[in-house]
Amino acid sequence: MKSIVILISGRGSNMQAILEAKLPVKIAAVISSNPNAVGLETARQHCIPAHVLNHRDHETREEFDTALAAKIDEFNPDLVVLAGFMRILTQGFVHRYNGRLINIHPSLLPAFTGLNTHARALAEGVKIHGCTVHFVTPNLDKGPIIVQAAVPVLPGDTEETLGARVLEQEHKIYPQAIRWFAEGRLTVTPDGNVILHDQQTVDMALISPWEAQ
């Protein structure tokens, strides 16, 4: 069975969705960069070893990432899962876990890389928003896309209501992506596209705004 390590910094709701999805993987450890992360307690409630590696105890990004890699490697995971891990990772770290480091981002990439994605989506007036699970490469939020979920932007939406609608989908697609990885069904092509093997294709569309005829 493949094993994973999950990195968090805060609330940990994606981590919780992964723990509760009963995936065919061993969750070897949860590591938090923040000693006060709520997710640490959630992990412990699920009997998952939860560790803290406080980024404030390290002077440079390089030092922190070296310590982080050493901690991760104690568990020898097949996959490292960033779940609300609020640190920009060094190139060395990303290269070390090439092809086995994934992230969830709260937008339909390549739109809205970076922070405050829901507020920016509202400001731009987009009608469809969503979330993306992708492999991590040195270019922030630019790695090969594994899966995306789209939601409508509804009249009267605020950052909070839109964010909650997106988060609900995050909790579905992140466990799904890990399941596919565990099943060995993901391949990254040389030009950086992800193939899902043995896929049951469905042709569907989300149209927004939509009115019943």
Instruction: Select from 150, 180, 186, 178 the least CA-distant residue to 83.
Output: 178
Between 65 and 171, CB nearer to ligand GRF? 171
What is the closest distance, in whole angstroms, from the C-beta atom of residue 54 to ligand GRF in the complex? Answer: 17
What is the closest distance, in whole angstroms, from the C-beta atom of residue 107 to ligand GRF in the complex? Answer: 9
Binding site for ligand GRF (CB under 6 A): 8, 10-15, 83-84, 104-106, 131, 167, 170
What is the closest distance, in whole angstroms, from the C-beta atom of residue 134 to ligand GRF in the complex? Answer: 11
Alpha helices by DSSP H, 24-183 = 38-45, 61-73, 91-96, 117-124, 159-182
Between 66 and 176, CB nearer to ligand GRF? 176
What is the closest distance, in whole angstroms, from the C-beta atom of residue 173 to ligand GRF in the complex? Answer: 10
User: What region, left, alpha or beta, does residue 146 occupy, with left being phi > 0 and alpha being psi -120 to 50 degrees?
Assistant: alpha
Helices (H) and strands (E) in the chain, counts: 6, 9
DSSP code for 199:
-
Kindly list the catalytic residues: 105
Q: How are beta strands 3-8 and 26-32 bridged, if at all?
A: parallel
Residue nearest to ligand GRF (CB): 84
Between 118 and 197, CB nearer to ligand GRF? 118
Instruction: Select from 187, 98, 90 the least CA-distant residue to 146.
Output: 187
Between 157 and 170, CB nearer to ligand GRF? 170
